[in-house]
Amino acid sequence: MGNLDDLTQRQRLMRTQRTAISETFFSWGYDEVYVPIVSQYETLQNRSCLPDSAVYKLLDGDGGIRMLRPDMTASVAWQAAVQWSDVPRPLRVCYFGEVFRRTQSGGGVASIAQAGVELIGTGSPESDAEVVALSADALRAAGLCSFQINLGHNGLLSEIADELDMQSCASDSMRDALVRKDFVAARDIVKASGHSALSEGLMHILTPDNAAEPMQILSEIGGSLPGLRQLQAVFEALRDFNLTDRVHIDISLAGDFSYYTGVIFDIYHARCGMRLGGGGRYDDLLAAFGSRNEATGFALDLASVCRSASGACRVDNAAPLWLVAGDEGCRPKMTRRCEQLRKNGCRAVVKTICGMDTDELAQWADCRGYDYLEVVRPGSDSAQIPLSGRSGEDDTGG
């Protein structure tokens, strides 16, 4: 019973968070769209940029290959390019749903509940800053206050390697070190390049928890690298949202999907380190479907958001659950009573009893999570019994 109670409480929390996130998206001008669960494999093949082994494929009745959506962005990009091509840009849409990916063992499918947005038809730094700020606003609405946003650029590591005249082996070693968060090794590789002007600034960025102002560092070393200039512009735009205290520059970010083309970001719980979501710019993805539109967006992992909330988001338990019980002959009266309770905003269930006294019935109802028990007897007033520590107040029972 305890496990079931934990499950229902979690589902209530997720529903409350989903509502809060949905209202936040809507308040920022994003309209919800439906994203098909099943698509033609050949249409989205290699567009999600997941390994083909991670895509769950199905055969239809005509022998064609279909796929469960492995990510939302590629599906939305196809819809925007083909189905919504005449809709004026910029286009702001949001979605809720699950993505499906084969497990590494190949024996099952993992489903990930997501909420996300796509901003299509604008390539300005302000649009990148908008989706970063919206992700933060959505998390706050879901009850999370402790989170960190790591901001990077998908092509920045390659630009740095080229600027430092690194051999491919050194470039790969630097990327591997940064992915492992081995900043000592990364600094040694940069220092060995001999480019003091650029490497000195990179030393600051590659020092975790450096007290230096990220904007100042980017200004010092960003003149020659397009990726750093773009980061600089987005970071500056984030000042308008009072969000720069939560943003950390992370040049090691490379994005989960290779369709990213510019500024990208990951969101983590600040204390436990759990990844809550992420996103970025994907200017070339719509072109693959015949529409040249710049675009950016993000997705939140709703299960991770729920686990990280830790009770910070208030679950709406205002609707108490009543059990209205009585003999078979009292069933019409019990049904009418439940209708009244539901009109008053309560939840209510009818139970026909046989051979149970009131104490046994109260114990039965209490261990099943009911808040109130009302025993209906023929020709007499009903007896109302509060359960689970409830007071004897009416609580909308009427």
Average pLDDT, the chain: 85
Q: How far apart are CA 117 and CA 138, in angstroms?
A: 11
Query: Angle at CA 145, nearest 5°, toward 143 and 149?
Result: 120
Same fold, 2-309 and 321-386: no
Mean pLDDT of 121-136: 97
Predicted local distance difference test score (pLDDT) of residue 223? 59
pLDDT in tens, 183-201: 788 888 887 877 666 666 6
pLDDT in tens, 204-222: 666 655 545 655 665 665 5
Helix (H, G, I), strand (E, B) or coil at 114: strand
Domain 321-386 has CATH 3.40.50.800: yes
Helix (H, G, I), strand (E, B) or coil at 252: coil
User: Taking Cα atoms as reference points, which of 77, 122, 123, 118 lies closest to residue 290?
Assistant: 77
Which pair of structure tokens corresponds to residue 314?
Answer: 């208030």
Q: How far apart are CA 392 and CA 384, in angstroms?
A: 9
Distances (CA, A) of 29 to 106, 130, 131: 40, 11, 12
Mean pLDDT of 157-173: 81
Which pair of structure tokens corresponds to residue 224?
Answer: 């020659």
Mean pLDDT of 104-131: 90
Predicted local distance difference test score (pLDDT) of residue 211? 45
Q: Is the pLDDT of residue 4 over 70?
A: no
Angle at which helix 226-238 crosses helix 156-163, to 10 degrees, equals 130
User: Taking Cα atoms as reference points, which of 321, 279, 324 lies closest to residue 301?
Assistant: 279
Predicted local distance difference test score (pLDDT) of residue 295? 98
Q: How far apart are CA 107 and CA 212, in angstroms?
A: 48
pLDDT in tens, 139-160: 999 999 899 999 988 888 788 7
Q: Is the pLDDT of residue 224 over 80?
A: no
Q: In this structure, are residues 331 and 352 in contact, taking their beta carbons and an 8 Å threshold?
A: yes
The lowest-confidence range among 133-137, 220-224, 274-278 is 220-224
Q: In this structure, are residues 298 and 277 in contact, taking their beta carbons and an 8 Å threshold?
A: yes
Residue 380's Cβ-count burial label (10 Å; 0-12, 13-18, 19+) is exposed
Angle at which helix 156-163 crosses helix 168-179, to 10 degrees, equals 140
Predicted local distance difference test score (pLDDT) of residue 48? 65
Q: Is the pLDDT of residue 339 over 90?
A: yes
Mean pLDDT of 9-21: 90
State the DSSP code for 335: H
Q: Is the pLDDT of residue 313 over 70?
A: no
For 2-309, CATH number out of 3.50.50.60, 3.40.50.2000, 3.40.50.300, 3.30.930.10 equals 3.30.930.10
pLDDT confidence tier of residue 181, bands split at 50, 70 and 90:
confident
The lowest-confidence range among 39-53, 286-300, 326-340 is 39-53
Q: What is the pTM of this model?
A: 0.82
pLDDT confidence tier of residue 100, bands split at 50, 70 and 90:
very high
Mean pLDDT of 54-65: 86
* For the chain, percent of residues with pLDDT exceeding 90: 50
Is the torsion defined by CA of 150, 156, 161, 165 positive or negative?
A: negative
pLDDT confidence tier of residue 342, bands split at 50, 70 and 90:
very high
- Rounded to an integer, what is the distance from CA 165 to the centroid of its chain? 39
User: Taking Cα atoms as reference points, which of 148, 192, 150 lies closest to residue 167?
Assistant: 192
More confident residue, 116 or 4: 116
Q: How far apart are CA 284 and CA 291, in angstroms?
A: 9
State the DSSP code for 231: H
Place of tokens 């051979």: 355
Compute φ and ψ for 111, nearest 5 degrees.
Answer: -110, 135
Mean pLDDT of 55-67: 87
Q: Is the pLDDT of residue 1 over 50?
A: no
The lowest-confidence range among 223-227, 280-284, 364-368 is 223-227
Q: In this structure, are residues 57 and 66 in contact, taking their beta carbons and an 8 Å threshold?
A: yes
Which pair of structure tokens corresponds to residue 392?
Answer: 């004897």
Query: What residue ranges do the domains of the chain occupy?
Result: 2-309, 321-386
State the DSSP code for 88: P
The lowest-confidence range among 52-56, 88-92, 222-226, 376-380 is 222-226
Q: Where are the alpha helices (H) located in 142-222, listed in sequence order? A: 156-163, 168-179, 183-191, 196-205, 214-221
